[in-house]
Amino acid sequence: MVVNLVTAALFAAAITVMTAYMLHIPIPGTGGYIHLGDTLIYLAACLLPVPYAAAAAAIGAGLADVLSAAAIWAPATVVIKAAIVLFFTNKGGKLLCRRNLAAIVIAGLFSPTAYALYNCAMAGTMAAFAPQFLGTLVQGIGSGALFLVIAPALDGVGLKERMIHN
């Protein structure tokens, strides 16, 4: 559907900007950075069918890595960010439902674990796990917290209902 394609493209662009440029705070010692792009990935996953949300997440976050001089992370990012949309659902009338609440926690643990394992593979040692995990966990907590603020507000104005009927 054209609406889903356009919405996914807009999400990909917003994810790129939010991840690479807005509130892009480096985490010393990890090479990573705090960003709120995952909040938009969570929203995309709650609004769009899985293939569209996964494409928006992979393209937006992967492009952010390339644009912010973190291209070595792009292969992992494309896979990890596409995978985290699978924990969410776009079914139902609300963004904030039980499954999406659980998905915030699952995605918030899956993403740092996956990045930490990728970091270990690049470093050739499991000693690289903890610093990467903790740095990415901080970023995930921020994104989850912002989602918990934004989703009820968007539910309050009936965003999903408006999207379905337009």
| pLDDT digits 0-9 by tens, 43-57 | 999 999 999 999 999
Q: What share of the chain is helix, strand, coil (3-state, %, to 5)?
A: 80, 0, 20
Could you identify the residue written with the tokens 């480096």? Answer: 26
Q: What is residue 102's three-state secondary structure?
A: helix
Q: How far apart are CA 75 and CA 77, in angstroms?
A: 5
In CATH terms, is domain 2-165 a member of 1.10.10.10? no
What are the residue ranges spanned by the domains of the chain?
Answer: 2-165
- Reported as a single tens digit per residue, the pLDDT across 19-37 is 998 877 776 765 666 788 9
**Close Cβ partners of 45 (under 8 Å, ≥ 6 residues apart):** 53, 57, 84, 85, 87, 88, 89, 90, 103
pLDDT at 72: 95
